[in-house]
Amino acid sequence: MADNTTTAQLYQQPHATDDDIDFGYLFGLLLDNKWLIIGTAIWALLLGVLYGMFASPIYQGDTLLQIEKKGGVPGLSELNKVFAKEESASAEIEILRSRMVLGDVIEQLKMNIVVAPDRKPYIGRFTAPDPAPQFLPRPLFAGYRDSETLVSVVNFSVPEELEGRVFHLTELKGQPALYLGEDLVATAPAGQPLESEEGRIRLVLGEWEYGNEPLKLIRKQDVVAINQLRGALEIKRVGDSGMLSLVMTGPNKERIKTTLDAISEVYLLQNVERRSAEAENSLEFLAEQLPKIKNKLTEFEEKLNAYRLQSESVDLSMETQSVLQQSVSIEARINELKAKEGEIATRFTREHPSYQSLLRQKAILIEQKRKLDSQIKELPETQQEILRLTRDVQVTQQIYVGLLNKTQELRILKAGTVGSVRIIDKALVQPAPIKPKKALIAVIAMMLGGMGAAGIVLLRALLNKGIESPDQLEEQGVAVYATVPLSEKQVKANRVNSLKMHRARKAKDASVSLPLLAQDDPNDLAIEALRSLRTSLHFAMMDADNKVLMITGPSPAVGKSFISANLGAVLAQTGQRVLVIDADMRKGHMHRYFQSDSQPGLSAYLSGQGSREDIIQSSGIDKLDFIARGKAPPNPSELLMHERFKALMDSLSDDYDLILVDTPPILAVTDAAIVGQLAGSSLLVTRFGVNSVKEVDAALTRFAQNKVEIKGAILNCMERRATNEYGYYAYEYGKTTD
């Protein structure tokens, strides 16, 4: 016995901590689970190979565009300078990805209409008809074809709230029929539109050869179709050369080529339209100004003729003509700048450099005009008036002729406008698929499988707090009396008898026996470890108060009964008289090791229903007897606390050299604490990888609270692992050689 405080302090020592990573332990852990890791990697490799075999091949196509910095019509250099502008590659990329371009492509190719067979996922492919022969044409968009069916859609319009909904296209009385869910939307003879009663849903079919498989029909939302096309399209800038490469991937070569060509053509067309639209805006402006200028010219001519008739003056002096020419020239230039300002104002703000330059030129000409007006005021009144009227006529005439010429030039420019985009390479799809890369997928799958299995092993080891070394117990101040290796023969026998045991427990049948390894295979390593324990116990029991040795454990299924039965047999082989008592009156099965019944047993004696001679049974091994648990009582703990149990232990000690008492686990019930009060020595059985250090601490604390001293521990079912040197060497030593 030991003092309560002293024992508790002894067993509740703090855990040793070590922040260093033990790479040797981790390597050993992976080595212990090498077949799991290798097997998982092989399975992942097979899955990767299968995926590569059945995955749809993905092809890649590309086209090349050039963004030119020049444009216009030869011979119209002035207008070309006005309308020419440097194209930004970034801006052109965004235009290519815009809804303006991609929306036109989708509408042109009907990419927003989906026609597909209505099959069950995954298993539908196995019941599908054979595909149509390769030489037969098939719809690339808005259609479907196989060996039985050929359907193409010319137009499919639905209300906005029905976009994205699944319609079903089938045949009804030999005619195409359109359904939405279970409701019939429309039906009509082949070649005629299918239109709902209110006219909101309209389907126009092209080709119609219906097989036995219904089709699903979807009118996508435009934004969904645009986003899908945008996601499949990649636009890359080729260096600083002004080249753009359009790349698209997909499972269908023809769809890729057709889509890329359509994007290029639509983009080229809108580029031309964008440039010609600028000339169109200028033409509209000039068309508004020409009638006004012509009316002004007529008005000024009439005023000049009327004044000449009135003043009877026809000619101007040489000085006046010189001033007139200068004034007309300046006025014409000012009017020209005003017209140009109207054009530039539609394209730039007043802060733009081109706009500011024009305003500065205009200010200079106005200043020159002001000086000429001062000279004109010094002329005779008649000459001034004639000069003013003549200047108005000539300036207006020049403006009118200039506008006529510019109108003709703009018409020529509009008719001959070429875009700043040039298609260098038409769309081309590479003959070999770019995905899946079968070899790479297989290698990656194998690596991921192996790494995943290794990760699971490490995570399981991190989460598993089970004891894997005697050192872990000794660090808690617990002496390890024996480390019993896991017996492969016992494991195999347990597997064979597990089902029988399960059925026997249900039927409360004791006929199913368990092998006693010490008798069936005395050379097993587990029995050798128990022989070592026998030697240690010889010295340990010398200091004990009596001949009673309690075998207990912290939790169920740690092998207490296996240790008790086989240790008793090993001790009896040395000539000692040994008695094994099954004190687990709830679920004890010690009798199965000795091919006997559970009754009569300990519970019968403690309840006064049997004598000592009635409950002691022969094990079949010389000098080894045992007492079974007996019939399960309702109050096993109270029976163990009865004076009859102490009297039994005292009387048996006179007849046997050693009494082994197998008890229930201490963390489950208090029976072991009661038995421990009468035992001269006690051993705690822990199981490798099952019991944690915390469980052992809790069990030892529970015993200390009941003033029961645990002499030491037995680490049972020690497995051979690379992480455990003891287990490795023990198993290596146990190998036999010829």
Domain ranges of the chain: 59-263, 272-422, 470-734
- In this structure, how many other beta carbons lie within 10 angstroms of the beta carbon of residue 473? 22
Which is higher by pLDDT, 408 or 709? 709
Rg of the chain (C-alpha set): 52
| CATH number for region 470-734 | 3.40.50.300
217 pLDDT higher than 90 = yes
The per-residue pLDDT for range 249-287, each reduced to its tens digit, is 988 899 999 999 999 999 988 877 766 666 666 667 777
State residue 403's pLDDT score: 74
The vertex-214 CA angle with 249 and 188, nearest 5°, equals 110
606 pLDDT higher than 70 = yes
Written as six digits, the tokens of 591 are 């009798």
- pLDDT band at 135, cuts 50/70/90? low
Written as six digits, the tokens of 478 are 């617990």
State residue 1's pLDDT score: 39
Residues in CB range of 278: below 8 A, 6 or more apart = 83, 347
Q: In whole angstroms, what is the distance from residue 255 CA to residue 56 CA?
A: 15
Average pLDDT, integer, range 364-374: 74
- Which range of 46-60, 109-123, 338-352, 383-397 scores highest in mean pLDDT? It is 46-60
Helix (H, G, I), strand (E, B) or coil at 385: helix
510 pLDDT higher than 60 = no
The vertex-107 CA angle with 103 and 110, nearest 5°, equals 130
Q: What is the pTM of this model?
A: 0.53
Which is higher by pLDDT, 369 or 455? 455
SS (H, E, C) 403-444: HHHHHHHHHHHHHCCCCCEEEEEEEEECCCCCECCHHHHHHH
730 pLDDT higher than 70 = no
82 pLDDT higher than 50 = no
State residue 734's pLDDT score: 47
End-to-end CA, the chain: 50
Average pLDDT, integer, range 580-602: 85
Q: Are 525 and 734 in contact (CB under 8 A)?
A: yes
The total number of residues written for the chain in this structure? 738
State residue 157's pLDDT score: 93
Which is higher by pLDDT, 401 or 648? 648
31 pLDDT higher than 50 = yes
Percent of the chain's residues with pLDDT above 90? 19
Average pLDDT, integer, range 109-130: 76
728 to each of 488, 513, 528, how far by Cα in Å?
15, 31, 16
Average pLDDT, integer, range 179-198: 90
Nearest one of 544, 551, 582, 563 to 680, comparing CA atoms: 544
Written as six digits, the tokens of 297 are 């010219």
Element (H or E) spanning 155, and its range?
Answer: strand 150-157
Q: In whole angstroms, what is the distance from residue 624 CA to residue 619 CA?
A: 6
Residues in CB range of 616: below 8 A, 6 or more apart = 579, 625, 626, 627
Least confident stretch, 104-108, 121-125, 478-482? 121-125
- pLDDT band at 575, cuts 50/70/90? confident
Q: In whole angstroms, what is the distance from residue 392 CA to residue 298 CA?
A: 11
- pLDDT band at 586, cuts 50/70/90? confident
Q: Are 606 and 639 in contact (CB under 8 A)?
A: yes
- pLDDT band at 43, cuts 50/70/90? very high
Average pLDDT, integer, range 586-590: 84
Which is higher by pLDDT, 662 or 287? 662
The vertex-186 CA angle with 182 and 188, nearest 5°, equals 135
714 backbone dihedrals φ, ψ, rounded to 5°: -120, 120
Decide the pairing of beta strands 150-157 and 166-172: unpaired
Counting Cα atoms < 13 Å in the Cβ hemisphere of 394 gives 17
Decide the pairing of beta strands 175-180 and 194-195: unpaired
Nearest one of 729, 220, 653, 723 to 485, comparing CA atoms: 729
Least confident stretch, 161-175, 435-449, 507-521, 545-559? 507-521
- pLDDT band at 227, cuts 50/70/90? very high
Q: In whole angstroms, what is the distance from residue 196 CA to residue 177 CA?
A: 11
Decide the pairing of beta strands 480-485 and 658-662: unpaired
The per-residue pLDDT for range 285-326, each reduced to its tens digit, is 777 777 877 888 787 777 767 776 766 555 555 556 666 666
Q: In whole angstroms, what is the distance from residue 131 CA to residue 123 CA?
A: 16
Query: For residue 541, which amino acid is it?
Result: M
State residue 302's pLDDT score: 76
Q: In whole angstroms, what is the distance from residue 78 CA to residue 630 CA?
A: 118
State residue 408's pLDDT score: 73
Percent of the chain's residues with pLDDT above 70? 78
Helix (H, G, I), strand (E, B) or coil at 13: coil
Written as six digits, the tokens of 681 are 């020595």
Written as six digits, the tokens of 639 are 């029976």
The per-residue pLDDT for range 195-211, each reduced to its tens digit, is 998 889 999 999 888 88
390 pLDDT higher than 80 = no
- pLDDT band at 374, cuts 50/70/90? low
Q: Which long-range contacts (CB under 8 A, 24 or more apart) does 343-348 make?
A: 343/82, 343/282, 343/285, 346/281, 346/285, 347/278
Nearest one of 334, 331, 359 to 345, comparing CA atoms: 359
Q: Are 587 and 664 in contact (CB under 8 A)?
A: yes
Average pLDDT, integer, range 363-371: 76
Annotate 606-674 with DSSP letters as a single string.
HTTSS-HHHHEEEEEETTEEEE---SPPS-HHHHHTSHHHHHHHHHHHHH-SEEEEE---TTT-SHHHH
602 burial type by CB count under 10 A (0-12 exposed, 13-18 middle, 19+ buried): buried
Helix (H, G, I), strand (E, B) or coil at 553: coil
For 238-271, letters b (16+ CB in 10 Å) and e give: eeeebbbebebbbebbebbbbbbbbbbebbbebb
Decide the pairing of beta strands 194-195 and 215-219: unpaired
- The mean pLDDT value of the chain amounts to 79
- Which range of 11-25, 85-99, 311-325, 527-541 scores highest in mean pLDDT? It is 527-541
Nearest one of 34, 2, 18 to 454, comparing CA atoms: 34
State residue 465's pLDDT score: 73
Average pLDDT, integer, range 158-176: 91
655 pLDDT higher than 90 = no
Nearest one of 517, 488, 396 to 735, comparing CA atoms: 488
Q: Which alpha helices (H) appear in 158-213, and where do they start and end? A: none
134 pLDDT higher than 80 = no
In the block, residue with structure tokens 């009804």:
172
State residue 312's pLDDT score: 57
Q: In whole angstroms, what is the distance from residue 416 CA to residue 276 CA?
A: 9
Average pLDDT, integer, range 686-691: 86
The per-residue pLDDT for range 610-620, each reduced to its tens digit, is 788 888 888 88
707 backbone dihedrals φ, ψ, rounded to 5°: 60, 40
Average pLDDT, integer, range 164-178: 91
Q: In whole angstroms, what is the distance from residue 441 CA to residue 49 CA?
A: 7
Q: Chain-centre distance of CA 542, in angstroms?
A: 66
Give the distance between the most distant pair of CA atoms in the chain: 169
Q: Chain-centre distance of CA 207, in angstroms?
A: 41
Q: Are 627 and 547 in contact (CB under 8 A)?
A: no
Q: Are 618 and 609 in contact (CB under 8 A)?
A: no
State residue 11's pLDDT score: 41
65 pLDDT higher than 60 = yes
State residue 22's pLDDT score: 63
Q: In whole angstroms, what is the distance from residue 510 CA to residue 508 CA?
A: 7
Helix (H, G, I), strand (E, B) or coil at 107: helix
Helix (H, G, I), strand (E, B) or coil at 316: coil
Average pLDDT, integer, range 143-162: 90
Which is higher by pLDDT, 487 or 23? 487
Nearest one of 12, 15, 30 to 452, comparing CA atoms: 30
